[in-house]
A and B are shown apart, each in its own frame.
Chain A
């Protein structure tokens, strides 16, 4: 009772080769930068794009297998939510939601009442007679979700469902989506480039970069122990690969980091920007991890300022706006950066 897929696609510079399985009731987030092949993957899973190789099976039924099976999208039990909702502009909201039932032979009255029931569940009571153009972005995306779920699909595909929404709407729609996904009995695949979506909605995350899976795990695992710069940046960490001997790590890019626990072999060192402190003079006393760095960029970030630092050890530091001002920092400034060994996370590569 799962989705099992091995998808191979060659499209110009994109070479996609990804293996996935999603259990019933599980939500898998596919996280990756733009152009990584996430949407292509989703289109293959939907049956909209024939892959160049591999196999896609849903609940044990093979829906695509090179030369042996090709079940077109309209014969698969699936629902799909698109980034920009794609509600049919010429149909009312109710007709949109009822569409999947009507194509599957449900009578009009029955389909409409089921559609209205779902509009109720997604909080769009009384908006069924409107045209999609008369809905707000959040309402439209809720209607699109209802349209995908009304047919009780075995597989739910969500293609960047929140990225077209403004920040406030995204927050509320994300919470609702989380609730609906929790109730959804089938397999769900969510494609996103926003780690917050993945963390908030998924049971498991697969990170895809340049067509390959680079990391997989629970959202917490991925957030705590990123394995690529891309994921590290997404979750707000600085990732420094190196080789550990005892309590020090010789970084691949040069420099040495002292760590709290003894370990050996190739490791990742992850540093939280908030744990990096900046000084105008070389600090004296306890900290062992002290490096001379140059401030290359400073961006306000809430009540803090994110400082990108260049030097032997490239780092990012979050300092409060107050201390930023007190230190009199400006891009180009030479400063000292320090991190406590206890604040550094180390895990094997």
Chain B
């Protein structure tokens, strides 16, 4: 009882802005829910395009997250642990996609790996491979925009982790790779998980870079945000329904994962 009371006591200077902030974040969502055409929600959802857009969104955001983990965690390690020169420049470069308007990011991707891009032209001319307007392009665009979120989270976790555990591992015969695998990574796992969630959420909501670089074609490149945007041109109510679906699915996924993590960490 005593503990519950102590935990419940939020100081007023924190409580008031917190409540205002929550209201600010939740009210627009409430607006969507209130304005949703609940009677027509069934037929709206039954549309084949909704299902394929949702599947594509979940698939590409998940793949983008996996890619971001494979590439982003090593980047974070280099930024947090290595002593190579120019790390601050590197960090700035890596976070550029955060400040770049996503549409510009999409154009930049064209210039790099589009059909006439620096890398894309030889790829196209010699191998006949084109990336734009494919599901690959969706994953690439989402990875480009979302990976910095993961890198920043993981780098923060690495900096906060006690590096002396790595010293201890070294004295126990672990080289840096073994140390990373068996000590560092498990220690920063919560940070990596948080980063992955952030990355996934960002990838799921990605619009600008995707519609620019991957285009919009139902079934191959039309993700939910694209479907929502186009629905908004024609039928704002349909757009609200689609938004709610995206919202419900992403919230549901995150809560499910969170439960699994929590139960694992308490049992383990």
* Residues of chain B contacted by A15 (CB below 8 angstroms): none
CB distance from A141 to the nearest CB of B (A): 13
30 contacts between A and B (CB under 8 A): A47-B170, A48-B167, A48-B170, A48-B171, A73-B170, A74-B170, A74-B172, A74-B175, A74-B176, A74-B178, A74-B179, A75-B173, A79-B171, A79-B172, A80-B168, A86-B165, A86-B167, A88-B168, A88-B169, A88-B186, A88-B187, A90-B186, A99-B172, A99-B182, A100-B173, A103-B178, A103-B182, A148-B171, A151-B172, A151-B173
CB distance from A89 to the nearest CB of B (A): 7
Give Cα distance in the complex from A103 to B177, angstroms. Answer: 11
Q: Report whether B171 and A89 are in contact in the complex, using a CB–CB cutoff of 8 Å.
A: no
Contact flag A80-B183 (CB < 8 Å), given A86-B165, A88-B165, A103-B178: no
Interface bits B134-178 vs A (CB < 8 Å: 1, else 0): 000000000000000000000000000010110111111111101
Q: Is the CB of A107 closer than 8 A to any CB of chain B?
A: no
* Residues of chain B contacted by A78 (CB below 8 angstroms): 171
Q: Report whether B168 and A86 are in contact in the complex, using a CB–CB cutoff of 8 Å.
A: yes
Q: Report whether A99 and B187 are in contact in the complex, using a CB–CB cutoff of 8 Å.
A: no
Give Cα distance in the complex from A86 to B162, angstroms. Answer: 9
User: Which of B162, B167, B172 is within 8 Å of A103, CB to CB?
Assistant: B172
Give Cα distance in the complex from A205 to B172, angstroms. Answer: 26
CB distance from B158 to the nearest CB of A (A): 15
User: Which of A74, A82, A100, A103 is within 8 Å of B164, CB to CB?
Assistant: A82
Q: Is the CB of A246 closer than 8 A to any CB of chain B?
A: no
Give Cα distance in the complex from A150 to B8, angstroms. Answer: 48
Q: Report whether A88 and B183 are in contact in the complex, using a CB–CB cutoff of 8 Å.
A: yes
CB distance from B264 to the nearest CB of A (A): 12
* Residues of chain B contacted by A294 (CB below 8 angstroms): none
* Residues of chain B contacted by A91 (CB below 8 angstroms): 186
Inter-chain residue pair count (beta carbon < 8 A): 67
User: Which of B164, B176, B179 is within 8 Å of A86, CB to CB?
Assistant: B164
* Residues of chain B contacted by A100 (CB below 8 angstroms): 172-173
The 4 nearest A-B residue pairs measured at CB: A100-B172, A73-B170, A80-B171, A103-B173
Q: Is the CB of A147 closer than 8 A to any CB of chain B?
A: yes
Q: Is the CB of A104 closer than 8 A to any CB of chain B?
A: yes
Q: Is the CB of A46 closer than 8 A to any CB of chain B?
A: yes
CB distance from A100 to the nearest CB of B (A): 4
Q: Is the CB of A72 closer than 8 A to any CB of chain B?
A: yes
The interface centre, meaning the residue of A48, A80, A100, A103 with most chain B CB atoms within 10 A of its CB, is: A103
Give Cα distance in the complex from A8 to B169, angstroms. Answer: 25
CB distance from A135 to the nearest CB of B (A): 16
Give Cα distance in the complex from A99 to B170, angstroms. Answer: 11
Count B-side interface residues using an 8 Å CB cutoff: 20
* Residues of chain A contacted by B168 (CB below 8 angstroms): 80, 82, 86, 88
User: Which of B162, B174, B186, B189 is within 8 Å of A99, CB to CB?
Assistant: B174
- List residues of B (171-220) whose CB comes within 8 Å of A's CBs: 171-176, 178-179, 182-183, 186-187, 189
Give Cα distance in the complex from A90 to B168, angstroms. Answer: 14
Give Cα distance in the complex from A46 to B173, angstroms. Answer: 11
Q: Report whether A147 and B170 are in contact in the complex, using a CB–CB cutoff of 8 Å.
A: no
Q: Report whether B173 and A74 are in contact in the complex, using a CB–CB cutoff of 8 Å.
A: yes
CB distance from A53 to the nearest CB of B (A): 20
CB distance from B75 to the nearest CB of A (A): 23
Interface bits A138-158 vs B (CB < 8 Å: 1, else 0): 000000000110010000010
Give Cα distance in the complex from A75 to B187, angstroms. Answer: 23
Q: Report whether A90 and B167 are in contact in the complex, using a CB–CB cutoff of 8 Å.
A: no
Give Cα distance in the complex from A99 to B166, angstroms. Answer: 13
Q: Report whether A73 and B167 are in contact in the complex, using a CB–CB cutoff of 8 Å.
A: yes
* Residues of chain A contacted by B167 (CB below 8 angstroms): 43, 46, 48, 73, 86
Give Cα distance in the complex from A90 to B181, angstroms. Answer: 12
Instruction: Across the interface, name the chain A residue whose C-beta is closest to B186.
Output: A90
* Residues of chain A contacted by B187 (CB below 8 angstroms): 88-90
Give Cα distance in the complex from A151 to B167, angstroms. Answer: 17
Q: Report whether A99 and B169 are in contact in the complex, using a CB–CB cutoff of 8 Å.
A: yes
Q: Report whether B170 and A72 are in contact in the complex, using a CB–CB cutoff of 8 Å.
A: yes
Give Cα distance in the complex from A89 to B176, angstroms. Answer: 19
User: Which of B162, B165, B174, B182 is within 8 Å of A74, CB to CB?
Assistant: B174
Instruction: Across the interface, name the chain A residue whose C-beta is closest to B179.
Output: A74
CB distance from B173 to the nearest CB of A (A): 4
Q: Report whether A104 and B186 are in contact in the complex, using a CB–CB cutoff of 8 Å.
A: no
Give Cα distance in the complex from A3 to B168, angstroms. Answer: 20
Q: Report whether B186 and A73 are in contact in the complex, using a CB–CB cutoff of 8 Å.
A: no
- List residues of A (23-49) whose CB comes within 8 Å of B's CBs: 43, 46-48
* Residues of chain B contacted by A74 (CB below 8 angstroms): 169-176, 178-179
Q: Report whether A103 and B165 are in contact in the complex, using a CB–CB cutoff of 8 Å.
A: no
Give Cα distance in the complex from A148 to B167, angstroms. Answer: 13
Instruction: Across the interface, name the chain A residue whose C-beta is closest to B162.
Output: A86
The interface centre, meaning the residue of A75, A88, A157 with most chain B CB atoms within 10 A of its CB, is: A88
Q: Report whether B171 and A46 are in contact in the complex, using a CB–CB cutoff of 8 Å.
A: yes
The interface centre, meaning the residue of B164, B172, B178, B189 with most chain A CB atoms within 10 A of its CB, is: B172
